[in-house]
Structure 1
């Protein structure tokens, strides 16, 4: 009896709110993974051999800042300043860098994120506009 009722619940169609929630959470998770990966690339570029696993801490707070800024319509420069400050704090925590090297890693992380994001967005737009 319990198995039958659980099957009926799981087979129920998703409401628009549930679909929207899943979409937002999936977008947040993908953006956090993307930012963690670009943080790893930036650190590897300047610092040499670094752990990918440690840089998984960098992406989620940056993605949260982006989502909160978009949701509450914060000024873009305020959101960018907050993201750069959190990024610098994360890299300082992970690697204990001096200010000059820290600024270089944060700048490279910003540049790599923008360039790779633009390339991936363009690729998705190109593929989605293909005929057939």
Structure 2
């Protein structure tokens, strides 16, 4: 996506239900250093933005294995707006596990239903509705 600064763009990466392992975060930091200015931005939708990428470097970044295999800049339409609270794995108030369930059900819906417009799915494990944006 073009930035206000001429010759620069940012790339948004889909982070499935906002979960990033340490090794993946190290690799994201490496990509931010190599292609941008070393900055990663977190979004309220639990995704990551790498800003300040010279337009001439965009194609190389998009061909990085991590973006091909794990954190797509162009995820399936139902995954794009999937948000889940941390669930009972890390929250004492949650009564259900939200992350694996939300991924599994979204993958199943993708398999069964053809969707052409974005759909927002927000999972929350308790009445506090932390999974809402």
TM-score when normalising by structure 1: 0.25
Greater share of strand residues, 1 or 2? 2
Structure with greater helix percent: 1
